Amino acid sequence: MGKRGLLLVVSAPSGAGKTTLCRLLLERFPFRFSVSHTTRPPRPGEVHGRDYYFVSREEFREMIREGAFLEWAEVHGNLYGTSFSEVERALSGEEDLLLDIDVQGASQVRGRLGARAVFVFILPPSLEELERRLRRRGTEDEETLRRRLARAREEIRFAPWFDYVVINDEVERAFEDLAAIIRAERCRPARALS
């Protein structure tokens, strides 16, 4: 018997620690990271094709017209999208795939793939802690920070819509919760017996 690949969709408000948890997941589990397309400029240390496919707005719009995206959204003035080609490899074989996407994107994936994906929402322990983390990052000006916090409040309202919620109050404990979800999902008959 072969196993069906696990498509794990992880979402969180900006600053909740999603990127850190996803990096740990990729280090400790045999997942492939779904590289999204974006129109935002690279942050220091980010590499085209590893972290994102950095494209122009014109290129991104052309991909939308061609129907290339499973999901896409505009977030903080930038476009982000997951191409069908990234996901098809996981769904057609034994590959486990991690999608690190926002709430809008997760909603689109659920609408198109339903139960074929597992949806996890990462929460900060509080909005105050979220603000502290964003300020500590030092990557946004005050106006951008205010927009991110307002968006976070909106996104947190969607947490009950996800299959699982992980509160990231301490990184290792949150990672263990995420790892437990992965182990449990791999034991579902649809995956274990396929």
Question: Measured between alpha carbons, how far apart are the two ends of the chain, in Å?
Answer: 6
Segment 31-70, tens digit of pLDDT = 999 999 999 999 999 999 998 999 999 999 999 999 999 9
d(CA 141, CA 92): 43
57 in a domain, yes or no? Answer: yes
Tens of pLDDT, residue by residue over 81-128, are: 999 988 887 777 668 999 999 898 999 999 999 888 999 999 999 989
Q: How many domains does the chain have?
A: 1
Listing DSSP states for 99-145 in one string gives EE--HHHHHHHHHHHGGGEEEEEEE-S-HHHHHHHHHHH--S-HHHH
pTM (two decimals): 0.86
Q: Which domain holds residue 49?
A: 7-192
Domain of residue 88, CATH code: 3.40.50.300
List the structure tokens of 1: 């018997």
CB 77 within 8 A of CB 148: no
